[in-house]
Amino acid sequence: MKAITTSGWGLSAELVLNTISAPTRLGANDVLVQVHGASVNPKDWKLNYHAAVAFTPLLVNKLPPFFGDDLAGVIIDKGSKVRDFEIGDAVYGMDMRPRTASLAELTRIDQKRIAKKPPSLTFQQAASMPLAAQTALQGLRKGKAEAGKSVLIIGASGGVGTFAVQIAKAMGLHVTGVCSGRNADFARELGADEIIDYTQGDYRNTAGSFDLVFDVTSYESPRTCDALIAEDGWFISTGGDTRSMLITPFYRVFGKHCGTVVVESWTRDLDTLSELVESGKLRPIIDSVFPLAQSQQAYDRSRTGRCRGKVVIEVMA
Ligand SMILES: NC(=O)c1ccc[n+]([C@@H]2O[C@H](COP(=O)([O-])OP(=O)(O)OC[C@H]3O[C@@H](n4cnc5c(N)ncnc54)[C@H](OP(=O)(O)O)[C@@H]3O)[C@@H](O)[C@H]2O)c1
């Protein structure tokens, strides 16, 4: 089968299209998916790219392909304990233990990490969702988001942010989005009630206070956002530095809460997202689409940090 591997090793190695063995043995809870779409997330090039590049010479032809988390495709085989999915089902999902390996024509994935694809979405649209949209959903829940509360979403125009704005609106929150001026109208179209343009000065001491500050850029911390968080409010991050992590337990002493979201894929959460899609409350925003052979260019596009929505890879037409 065709799959993405690397051109060699070391930091100058590039992602290249290769022909390798298809996965053979399926676990009892696994399905074998013919992958149609995948997508790029910053962690792909932040962590796994360099790790994979370093170890690829040892792994080539010994382990399955390593790149890509999000997938959308069709089940072509299933393990003996798979009950809720049938061969022929169109599904979407991801599994980061260790990787979905979705930059390949075929891959295995555990049944608990996937759900039926929302019928109204193409494979490419569905492939943009699992990691980023579940991060948005799980982060909002962790920050006790509920109808009537206010949320500040820092990074409203990116992969996670475009989902977070729409899901927060669907939950009934008052949404303020932080983005650059060029994305202000776009974030309003997604449903943001108010916009703060981060290029027009430091808003962090003047923007007022919010029940939830959801930083999806990973740049901020409870310290930098302290003035933005209401009493008994929450700061939730998709990343954060070590110093911020260390003060997390003490932050509660001051009547505020903070935490980090570490996304996991679950059928029930994907089903929740599918319902939002099918009810017209959520739509994936696609920044750009690349063919599988141009996965390196797709990574490079994501690495600019300027994407509006998601970078998608078409694995099979
Ligand atoms: N912990 C987890 O489980 C988890 C899961 C998913 C993602 N993450 C992390 O979350 C972060 C965001 O992921 P992503 O997929 O959303 O990234 P992304 O799509 O690459 O984010 C790009 C967006 O960020 C905006 N942006 C850049 N600087 C900004 C700033 N200072 N203030 C506000 N917006 C800014 C850009 O808008 P402009 O071009 O207008 O600046 C662009 O629209 C990454 O660090 C990723 O690794 C963590």
* Most confident option among 96-105, 190-199, 255-264: 190-199
Instruction: Check if 139 has its Cβ closer than 6 Å to any atom of ligand 1.
Output: no
Q: Quick one: fold of 132-260?
A: Rossmann fold (3.40.50)
CA distances from 169 to 152, 255, 259 (A): 12, 26, 21
Phi, psi of 276 (to 5 degrees): -65, -40
Instruction: Check if 263 has its Cβ closer than 6 Å to any atom of ligand 1.
Output: yes
Mutation test residue for ligand 1: of 131, 160, 241, 285, the one with most atoms within 8 Å of CB:
160
pLDDT of 126-173, one tens digit each?
999 999 999 999 999 999 999 999 999 999 999 999 999 999 999 999
Instruction: Check if 48 has its Cβ closer than 6 Å to any atom of ligand 1.
Output: no
How much is the average pLDDT of 191-214?
96
How much is the average pLDDT of 92-101?
86
Closest CA relative to residue 63, chosen from 24, 31, 109, 10:
24
Residue 234, both tokens: 């929450």
Instruction: Check if 188 has its Cβ closer than 6 Å to any atom of ligand 1.
Output: no
Instruction: Assess whether pLDDT exceeds 90 at residue 240.
Output: no
Q: Give the start-to-end residue ranges of the domains of the chain.
A: 2-129+284-314, 132-260
User: Right CATH number for 2-129+284-314 from 3.50.50.60, 3.90.180.10, 3.30.70.20, 3.20.190.10?
Assistant: 3.90.180.10
pLDDT of 265-292, one tens digit each?
999 999 999 999 999 999 999 999 999 9
Å from CA of 57 to ligand 1 middle: 31
Instruction: Check if 76 has its Cβ closer than 6 Å to any atom of ligand 1.
Output: no
Confidence band of 44 (pLDDT split at 50, 70, 90): confident
